[in-house]
Amino acid sequence: MLDSIFRALADPARRQMVERLTRGAASVSELAAPLSMSLPGVMQHLKVLDDAGLTISEKRGRVRWRRLNADAMATAESWIAERRRLWNTRLDALERHLKADNGD
Amino acid sequence: MLDSIFRALADPARRQMVERLTRGAASVSELAAPLSMSLPGVMQHLKVLDDAGLTISEKRGRVRWRRLNADAMATAESWIAERRRLWNTRLDALERHLKADNGD
């Protein structure tokens, strides 16, 4: 899960698609428009985003739409946030320790 | 920058190293200990973390230490957090719009 989410976010074209999707659901052609890329290239990137669970694909009428899945983004964000929190707690403890050693 | 940070986090062995480093600086052998992996394999993963700026490498005496770079983690965390925020703002606006349509 985290493997595929972080891998999906490691590409600028895929991040640009995520960026576009924060403004609402989009069709493949809307997602492809700002990118200088072949349609198969676009489809491949979308598959990586879908497989990671970052995007949800829905067919309405004859058009397939993608929308963001905030849960997958939250999973990745929480993993990093928790590691940062642990590290900061560790730094704070070190600082207190050094201050105590200096008799502050 | 974001490319290399997210790519570095997309591997379970590298996330395990980050996990270990939240408890404080570690030598290569301390980082290698819990992993069933050859030393060249460990060194390769450490290079990916170093290159992404997630870890900082320092030589003290004859031992090389790695410590976490919280700034790089914050960069990745902020990117995701901001996209989630935009998407949630969008969802809230949609919800208000639907409620208004229903005369709520």
Choose the closest CB to B3 out of A11, A87, A91. A11
Give the residue from A2, A83, A95 with the most B CB atoms within 10 Å of its CB, the best one to mutate: A83
Whole-number percent of chain A with pLDDT over 70: 98
Contact B6 A3 (CB under 8 A): no
Joined together, the tokens standing for residue A80 give 């990093």
Joined together, the tokens standing for residue A61 give 């009428």
What letter does residue A74 receive in the DSSP assignment? Answer: H
Residues of chain A with pLDDT under 50: none
Neighbouring C-beta atoms of residue B79, cutoff 10 Å = 22
Question: pLDDT digit of tens for each residue in chain B (104 aa)?
Answer: 999 999 999 999 999 999 999 999 999 999 999 999 999 999 999 999 999 999 999 999 999 999 999 999 999 999 999 999 999 888 888 888 888 887 66
For residues A49 and B60, is the Cβ–Cβ distance under 8 A? no
